Amino acid sequence: MKFICVTLLIITGITQSDEYEVIGPSAPVMTVSGEDVILPCSIKPNISAVNMRVQWIRLDLKDSIVHLYEDHKDINTNQLQSYRGRTQVFKEELEKGNTSLKLSRVQISDEGLYKCFIQSESWSDDITVDLRVEAEQNNIDGDEIFHSLKSSVITVAIVLSLIAAMLIVGVVYKKRGLQMEHQRINEERETLLLREERTESVTSLLRKHSVNVTLDADSAHPRLIVSHDGKQVRCENKDQREENQDEEQKNTFDNYLGVLGTEGFSSGCFYYEVQVEGMMEWYVGVARESVSRKGRVSLIPQNGYWTVAKGTFSLWACEDSYVLLSLSVKPERIGVFVDYEKGQVSFYDVKSMCHIYSFADQTFKEKIYPFVSLGYKLCKNSSPLIFCSDLSPLGDSYNDT
């Protein structure tokens, strides 16, 4: 009976969370520099957001926290300097699900894309708001000046002179424009070549520390199936454990659909790559040997986990306070690099070799193992997660494993 009740509560929670969504304006929000503006964002249907996490970020800037509301208060320690003292959410409106942001004394540099991310214990969603900022209107009316000058003969002479000058300038600028266009094309070509060289260089450097990762099936959640070669893991809808097996004696994960690598590392550097293409939800990273695998344990450094994760709508680093990550494309293959002595765990998008995130200045005192998870209790993935073994130089390796 207890099992049935718990199951009903889980199903009810999933059903309720699917009924809510974050909504915002479909058209850009227009304003003038120097004015105040409100960036609309709310939950539909209306529910209280008082106990939720509300984060506004700039999608086009690095370290882009604009405003963070969490645990019933504003936490703007990592807020961009240019927004200090200019942002606020309407505390009295949070009860109605209104999570809009007020931005005071708008500047031209405020123009850009803003994401409103709302997260509760059972669901999360986000929308993007496009803010357009115009300069202050000039009080001088150019048409009035033109018509006042038009009444004099001097004006006619000036206009003719201006037309002639504009024709000359137009010819000069056209020629200069062609030269600049050629220069721009050449610079873009050089930039692309440098980027390719840098990507190849970074890839080669990291892959010097490649290790052959196989998965430890004995550590896997009972609903996970590890392939015979230990390179792939997928999820089934039922437990894969044998009957009469004492689960309390097995050191398996029982909430997170997690599994550890077979080999651990206690010194030096190591690197591995995981293919996550086609997966809706995943956690990738490393874990120390003694981590707790039972119960609801947050996958954060304080608990011995260093991971980045993807959900239905977002990508984040699993810090004590989750750090949202903004990438132009969804990564298909994740590279994980660990420097044991320096206490650093770094993540890369292998295809572009773009840096995703790093945990720095960590302290490792025991073995560190590769770690992945396909979700928390529920698995949304139809594709398997694959540990890659084709770690030859980039250009020869980015194929299906």
Q: State the pTM of this model.
A: 0.50
Out of 118-122, 283-287, 393-397, the most confident range is 283-287
Res. 171: pLDDT tops 90: no
CATH number, domain at 22?
Answer: 2.60.40.10
134, 161, 191: which is the final residue of a domain?
134
- Region 189-203: mean pLDDT is 58
pLDDT of residue 191: 55
pLDDT at 189: 64
pLDDT surpassing 50 at residue 192: yes
Name the DSSP class of 83. G
Provide the domain count of the chain: 3
> What number is the average pLDDT over the span 379-385?
83
Q: What is the mean pLDDT of the chain?
A: 83
- Say which DSSP state 262 is in: S
DSSP state of 291: -
- Structure-token match 């025991």, residue found: 366
Query: Does 212 map to a domain?
Result: no
User: Does some domain include residue 397?
Assistant: no
Mean pLDDT across the stretch 239-260? Answer: 69
State whether 170 and 239 are in the same domain. no
Q: What is residue 161's predicted lDDT score, i.e. its pLDDT? A: 84
- C-alpha distances (whole Å) from 129 to each of 34, 95, 195, 315 are 19, 22, 31, 18
pLDDT of 65-124, one tens digit each? Answer: 999 999 999 998 889 999 999 999 999 999 999 999 999 999 999 999 999 999 999 899
| Percentage of residues in the chain having pLDDT higher than 90 | 54
**Pair (186, 56) in one structural domain:** no
Residue 399 is assigned to a structural domain of this protein: no
Rounded Cα distance, 321 and 298, in Å: 11
Under the banding of pLDDT at 50, 70 and 90, the label for residue 20 is confident
In this structure, the answer to whether residues 72 and 162 fall within a common structural domain is no
Whether residue 44 is contained in a domain is answered as yes
Q: Which residue has tokens 């038009």?
A: 150
Strands (DSSP E) along 15-76, which ranges? 21-23, 29-32, 37-39, 42-44, 53-58, 65-70, 73-74
- Say what angle helices 142-150 and 153-207 make with each other, to 10 degrees: 150
**Residue 60 sits in the same domain as residue 180:** no
Residue 311 pLDDT greater than 60, yes or no? yes
* One domain, residues 82 and 7: yes
Same domain as 116, residue 25: yes
133, β-bridge pairs: 31
Percent share of the chain, pLDDT over 70: 81
Q: Are residue 130 and residue 149 in the same domain, yes or no?
A: no
Among 135-144, 184-193, 212-221, 223-232, name the one with the lowest average pLDDT.
135-144
- Per residue in 351-362, pLDDT (tens digit) is 887 899 999 999
Check residue 70 and give its pLDDT: 93
Report if residue 70 sits inside a domain.
yes
Q: Tell me which of 378 and 257 has the higher pLDDT.
A: 257
pLDDT at 166: 87
96 and 152 co-located in one domain:
no
The mean pLDDT value for 213-229 works out to: 93
Residue 210 located in a structural domain: no
Summarize the chain as % helix, strand, coil (round to 5).
25, 30, 45
- Calculate mean pLDDT across residues 210-228: 93
Domain assignment present for 240: yes
255 and 168 in a common domain: no
Same domain, 130 and 147: no
* Claim to verify: residue 369 and residue 267 sit in the same structural domain: yes
**Which pLDDT does position 49 carry in this prediction?**
93
pLDDT of residue 327: 74
Structural domain contains residue 265: yes
CATH of the domain at 306: 2.60.120.920
Range of the domain at 303: 217-387
Last residue of a domain, one of 177, 204, 231: 204
Q: What is the pLDDT of residue 8?
A: 42
Phi, psi angles (nearest 5°) of residue 335: -100, 135
Name the DSSP letter for residue 379: -
Choosing from 86, 117, 134, the residue where a domain stops is 134
**167 in the same domain as 120:** no
